[in-house]
Amino acid sequence: MDKAFRNKRNFVKIFLDIFSIFFSSLLITYIMFEEFRDQPIKIAFLYAFSYAVFDLLKNEVGTSWQYTDSRDVLEIIKLNLYSTISAFALGKLLEFHSWRILALVFSFSTASMLLLRMIFRLQRQGNISPKERRKNRENTLVYGAGEAGNTLIRECRANRNFEYKIRAFIDDDPKKYRTIINGIRVYGGLDTIEEAIEEYDITTVIIAIPSLDNKIINDIFKKIEKIPNIKIKKLPFVSNLIDNSLTNQIKDVSIEDLLGRDQVEINDGSIKDLIHNKVVFVTGGAGSIGSELARQIAKYEPQKLVTIDVNENDIYFLELELKRKYPNLDLVSEICNIREKEKLEFLFNKYRPNIVFHAAAHKHVPLMEHNPEEAIKNNIFGTRNVAECANKFGVDRMVLISTDKAVNPTNLMGASKRACELVIEHMNEVSKGTKFMAVRFGNVLGSNGSVIPIFRKLIKEGKNLTLTHKDITRYFMTIPEAAQLVIEAGSIGNGGEIFILDMGKPIKIYDLAKNMIRLSNAKVGIDIVGLRPGEKLYEELLYDTNNAIKTANKKIFITKIDKGNIEIDKYFDELRECTHNPDITKIKEIMKKVVVSYKEVKYE
C-alpha cells in the first residue's frame, strides 16, 4: 500500500512539473509571439515532452518536495536548462524556434516549479500548529552552522515529530559568530558553549558536522561533562541517512567517538590487488573481527568470499547483511569447527582459496585459565589445521589474527596465541609456496566480550560497573580500524612477519567507565573488585619502538621476535596428550616450555 501511495504521489508530482512547463510555454507563445500563434500547442508539447524525458532519465521524480534545499533548486535549474535547450534544438529542426521563447519558458517554468515546492513545504508546516511545534521539544544547541546544521533547522520547522527545538548554533568559524542563519543565532565558538547552554536552558547538544574529528568531539564532551542532564548527540553522514527525514536518525555520541584516534589511512590500491577477483576465506567469520573483515573484504569485489564459523546464528545474520548491501557478492557461509581437519580439507579442496584470514580463536582470559585444554585444542591445533590446509592446497597467503596478550604472556590464552604465532612461523619455514604471517593488535572497542558491551549491559540493567583495578589501562582501537589494517598488513607481507598495529595511547578503564556512565546519564556507580588471575595492570607496548621495522603505513610495524630456538612441532604430541586428561598444572608446565616468555602471574 505504501508503495502504491508513493507511486501515485510521484505521478502527481511529475504531472504538475510537466503541466508547469506546458502551461508556461503555451501562455508565453500565444501572448507574446504573434509569429508562432498558429502553433502554441505544438511548441508547448515539445517543451513538455523534452522535460519529461530528462526528468525520467535523471530520476528526479523520487525527490521529496517537502525537503527541497539548495541542491534540489540547482538540480531543477539544470534539468530545465537541459530540457529547454533540447526542445529548442528540436524546434529548430521542425522550423519553429526562438531564443526568446527558450529564455522565457526556462525562466517561467523554473519559477513555477520552485513555487510548487514552496507551496508543499508551507502546506506541511501549516499543518503544524505553533502549540504542537512547541510541545515536548528539547531545547537544543547545534554545533556546526553549515549545511548539516541548516538541514536540522528545516527538519525542525517541517516535521511535527521532530523532538528538538533549535535555540542556537556554536561554530568554529569566527566569521559566523553573532550572525543569524536561517533565523537562528550563531552564539560563538566552542569556548562559549557553557554560556550558551545556561542562557538557553539547553538539554541537548547535537553535533552537526558528521566528519568532525574525534578529538574535537572529545573536547566538546569535556566542556559539558560536568553540566548535569545534558545529552550529546550527532548527525550521521548524509550518505548514511535512511531517507530525507532526520527523525530518529540523530544518534547518541558513543564511547568510540571519544577515543580520539587519528583517521585510518589505508592503501586502497594494494588491498584491491590482494582481494579483487580472489577467493577469500575468513575463519571465525561470525565473530567481531571476522565479521568486520568480511564487511571490508566485500568492498573490494572478491571472486568469492567464504565465511567459516560454528556459530550458525551470527554467521546467518552476517550473510543476510552482506547480501543486502552487496547483491552481486558471491558469498558462501560454511559451518565448520577448525578442530575438524577433515571438514577443513573438504572446504579448501572445494573452494581453493587464494587468501585466508584466520580469526577463529578462544579469547577470554578467565575462561581459558579455567579450561586451558580448550585453548590448546582450538587456538593451537585449530591454527595448525588451517595452516596445514593452506599449505596443502596452495593458498597464496594466510594471515593469523593474534593479540597483544601474546607479548610476554601472563595467562594461558595469551600463551596459546603466542604458540599460534610459532605455528605460523614454522609453517612459513616449511611451506611450499604459501606466505604465512601474523598481525597483533590490542583490545577492540565493542568486540564481543570486551569491556564496552559488558559495561553497556550493566548500565542498561541499572547496575554498578565492575572494574578489577582503578589504575588498570588498556590499548584500544575500533573494529573497522583493526580490520582495515589487518587486510593491508596481509597485502604487504612477504611471509614470516609478525605485524604490529599502532594502538595509540593507553586508556584508563576507570575513565572510560565514567564517560560511559556520563554519556548514558545513568545513575550507577563503579565497583572495584580486584585483579583476576593472569590479568595485567598495564599492558606492554606491542613492539619495541627502537627496533620495530616501519612499513609504508605509519600504523603498521614489523617486529622480529626471538623464538628462543623453540621448534613447536616437537611439542605437538605432548600438547595433544595433555588435552585428553586435562591437568592445569601439567598444561602450564608444557606451555612454559613451548612459550619461553610465558610467566604466570598470581594475585592475592
Residues with catalytic function: 405
CB 397 within 8 A of CB 496: no
Q: Which amino acid is at 353?
A: P
Within 135-278, strands assigned E span 138-143, 164-170, 180-181, 184-188, 204-207, 231-234, 251-252
Q: Which amino acid is at 212?
A: L
Partners of residue 317 on adjacent β-strands? none
Hey, what's the cell of 554?
A: 605509519
What contacts 50, CB < 8 A, 6 or more positions away? 83, 84, 86, 87, 90
Q: Which amino acid is at 142?
A: V
Q: How far is CA 43 from CA 38, 46, 564, in A?
A: 10, 5, 89
Exposure of 205 by Cβ count < 10 A (0-12 exposed, 13-18 middle, 19+ buried)? buried
Rounded to whole angstroms, the Cα distance separating 186 from 470 reads: 41
> What are the phi and psi torsion angles at 597 (to 5°)?
-85, 0
3-state secondary structure at position 282: strand
Rounded to whole angstroms, the Cα distance separating 165 from 156 reads: 7
Rounded to whole angstroms, the Cα distance separating 38 from 19 reads: 20
Rounded to whole angstroms, the Cα distance separating 188 from 370 reads: 57
Alpha-carbon torsion angle 562, 565, 570, 575, nearest 10 = -40
Q: How are beta strands 184-188 and 549-550 bridged, if at all? A: unpaired
Residue in 274, 333, 288 with CA at minimum distance from that of residue 309: 333
The helix (H) or strand (E) run that includes residue 473 is strand 473-474
The C-alpha cell 585466508 sits at: 356
Q: How are beta strands 251-252 and 279-283 bridged, if at all? A: unpaired
Q: How are beta strands 498-501 and 556-559 bridged, if at all? A: antiparallel
Q: How far apart are the first and last CA of the chain?
A: 66
CB 233 within 8 A of CB 218: no
Rounded to whole angstroms, the Cα distance separating 250 from 496 reads: 46
Instruction: Say how many C-beta atoms besides its own lie within 10 A of residue 305's C-beta.
Output: 26
Q: How are beta strands 507-508 and 473-474 bridged, if at all? A: antiparallel
Question: What sign does the dihedral 314-319-321-322 (CA atoms) show?
Answer: positive
